[in-house]
Amino acid sequence: MKARGSAFALACLFGLLAVPQALAESITPIGDVQRGSNVTVQGAVERLLDEDEFRLTDASGSIDVYVGPNIVPANVGETVTVRGFVDDDLVLEIYAREMVLADGSVVRFDRRYD
């Protein structure tokens, strides 16, 4: 029984299973994002950096978001919510796994860059 609970927890941690909405993490201000963590952030698309990367801004700061190898599905000025992993590299960046657009639609990203 303990092994199954641990397997479930690990699967949720690595995004292999959908976590019920009630258990979803709260929104983290961009200025409080920590390297090497899974986060949910919300803000406005400040600018497109490339076809697969954009800068997200809220009142606490800004961060680059990578959605590759996909194309950014939002427009500059649009408010979006991003769930993903914060890279522990020199440049603070989120590798997006999912994005909720202003109209409520959810875009999940293929993770071929892993």
pTM of the model: 0.75
Q: How far apart are CA 92 and CA 17, in angstroms?
A: 26
Sorted by where each starts, the structural domains of the chain and their CATH numbers stand as 25-108 (2.40.50.200)
Helix (H) or strand (E) holding 49: strand 38-50
- The three-state secondary structure class of 88 is coil
Q: How far apart are CA 105 and CA 16, in angstroms?
A: 20
- The three-state secondary structure class of 33 is coil
> pLDDT tens track of the chain, all 114 residues?
334 443 434 344 444 434 334 334 599 999 999 999 999 999 999 999 999 999 999 999 999 999 988 999 999 999 999 999 999 888 899 999 999 999 999 999 976 545
- The three-state secondary structure class of 18 is coil
Joined tokens for residue 85 = 């992993």
